């Protein structure tokens, strides 16, 4: 690592600057940003202008360029740009989606938790060489009281994110997290909220994924399950639950564009397939929990009498 030029250090000469520019161009670094990226990498310090170089630094750079020692220091242009890497992540997470598996028992609504996002996106981000770096502003924390008079703390946190691609180029994003807690976890929760919404918005994560068949053949074909059969399966579940078709699908229709019942019946096959699968899984879980509850009340209830 070299030292930057100081008032007592001779700066790069015009002759050196001209030679440096010629050698940079000969080594496919006509772009200013690419040239400064390489120079900063060689010297181990951030350089924002070639005119700020010292004579010693300029000589080192000129020698390296003349000896052909530039290729190892250049960004790997074989890797995709950060925008393309983000698009690839969007494509892969779009195929699986992140559903609303979390349940708020107190306020009775379903949500997508941070753990779901991280579990789904972590291997995809790693595969495409995308790194997410947070830079949080100082949190704004205010104290409030619950109806019972207990103290609770509201944290509002603004986080600036740097999205680094496999080539080393970057994108920027900003999200805000807000959270309440009666102990010391409001900042932690706010950070998690900011992270969740970064993942959800930057990568446009859907509730329900789509398949390769949907991507290449949007029209229903012989390989697809009949949409009418899917509607019949939903109706069967509604009857088993003691509900009308409209009652059973109300929440799902609201979460997917406030569709009417008729619009739901004309929805894409992939959307209906995923919905039916979730309904059947939920019903199976309910039945298993009911059976377990019976066993807990009387473990011998179902055993044959001697």
Q: Give the C-alpha distances (Å, rounded to integers) separating 161 from 49, 124, 180, 226.
A: 26, 18, 23, 44
282's tokens:
């939920």
The fraction of the chain above a pLDDT of 70, given in percent, is 82
Q: How far is CA 186 from CA 122, 152, 158, 181, in A?
A: 24, 9, 13, 5
pLDDT band for 221, please (50, 70, 90 cuts).
very low
- Please answer whether residues 94 and 199 qualify as being in contact, where contact means their C-beta atoms are separated by less than 8 angstroms: no
**Residue 201 φ/ψ, nearest 5 degrees:** -90, -45
- The mean pLDDT value for 269-273 works out to 79
Q: CA–CA separation, 129 vs 150, rounded Å?
A: 46
DSSP state of 27: T
The residue-averaged pLDDT of 287-303 equals 67
Per the model's pLDDT, the better-predicted residue between 148 and 93 turns out to be: 93
The answer to whether residue 208 scores a pLDDT higher than 50 is yes
**63: Cβ–Cβ under 8 A, 6 or more apart, which residues?**
none
Q: Which class for 172: exposed (0-12), middle (13-18), buried (19 or more C-beta within 10 A)?
A: exposed
- Least confident interval from 80-94, 131-145, 153-167, 262-276: 262-276
Query: pLDDT tens for residues 57-104?
Result: 999 999 888 887 665 445 556 789 999 999 999 998 988 888 776 666
In the predicted model, what is the mean pLDDT of residues 187-203? 94
SS3 152: strand
Alpha-carbon span 187 to 70, nearest angstrom: 45
Closest CA to 256 of 264, 248, 244: 264
Q: What is the average pLDDT across 129-154?
A: 91
H-run or E-run covering 70: none
**Position 275 confidence tier, pLDDT thresholds 50, 70, 90:** confident
What per-residue confidence (pLDDT) applies to 199? 95
What confidence score (pLDDT) does residue 104 get? 62
Q: What is the dihedral of CA 252, 254, 259, 260, to 10 degrees?
A: 90
Average of per-residue pLDDT across 182-190: 90
More confident residue, 201 or 42: 201
pLDDT of 201 strictly over 90: yes
Q: What's 82-202's CATH class?
A: alpha beta
Q: What is the pLDDT of residues 18-65, one digit of tens each?
A: 999 998 888 888 888 888 888 888 887 888 899 889 999 999 999 888
Mean of the per-residue pLDDT values for the chain? 81
Task: Describe the chain by its helix, strand, coil percentages, rounded to 5.
Answer: 50, 15, 35
CA 280 to mean position of chain CA atoms: 28
What is the C-alpha separation between 1 and 219, in angstroms, rounded?
Answer: 60
Extents of the domains making up the chain: 14-73, 82-202, 213-297
Weakest-pLDDT range from 5-9, 265-269, 300-304? 300-304
What average pLDDT does this structure show over 134-157?
Answer: 90
Q: Residue 222 — very low, low, confident or very high, per pLDDT cuts 50/70/90?
A: very low
Indicate the pLDDT class of residue 109, thresholds 50, 70 and 90. low
* List of residues 6+ apart from 141 with CB closer than 8 A: 153, 154, 155, 156, 186, 187
**Structure confidence at residue 146 as a pLDDT band (50, 70, 90):** confident
């Amino acid at each position: 690592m070299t030292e930057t030029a100081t008032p007592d250090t001779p700066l790069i000469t015009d002759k050196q600057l001209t030679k440096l520019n010629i050698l940079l161009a000969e080594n496919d670094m006509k772009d200013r940003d690419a040239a400064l990226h390489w120079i900063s990498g060689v010297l181990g310090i951030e350089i924002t202008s070639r005119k700020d170089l010292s004579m010693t630094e300029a000589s080192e750079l000129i020698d390296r360029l003349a000896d052909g020692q530039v290729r190892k220091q250049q960004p790997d242009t074989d890797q995709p740009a950060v925008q393309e890497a983000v698009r690839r992540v969007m494509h892969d997470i779009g195929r699986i989606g992140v559903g609303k598996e979390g349940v708020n028992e107190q306020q009775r609504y379903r949500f997508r938790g941070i753990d779901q996002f991280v579990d789904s996106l972590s291997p995809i981000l790693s595969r495409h060489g995308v790194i997410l770096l947070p830079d949080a502003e100082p949190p704004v924390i205010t104290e409030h009281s619950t109806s019972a008079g207990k103290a609770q703390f509201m944290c509002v946190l603004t986080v600036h994110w740097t999205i680094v691609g496999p080539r080393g180029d970057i994108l920027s994003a900003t999200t805000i997290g807000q959270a309440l807690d009666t102990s010391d976890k409001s900042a932690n929760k706010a950070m998690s909220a900011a992270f969740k919404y970064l993942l959800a918005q930057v990568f446009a994560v859907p509730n329900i994924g789509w398949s390769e068949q949907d991507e290449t053949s949007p029209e229903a074909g012989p390989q697809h399950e009949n949409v009418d059969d899917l509607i019949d399966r939903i109706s069967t579940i509604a009857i088993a639950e003691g509900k009308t078709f409209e009652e059973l699908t109300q929440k799902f229709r609201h979460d997917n564009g406030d569709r009417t019942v008729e619009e739901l019946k004309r929805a894409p096959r992939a959307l209906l397939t995923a919905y039916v699968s979730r309904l059947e899984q939920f019903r199976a879980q309910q039945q298993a929990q009911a059976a377990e509850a019976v066993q807990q009340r009387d473990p011998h209830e179902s055993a044959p009498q001697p």
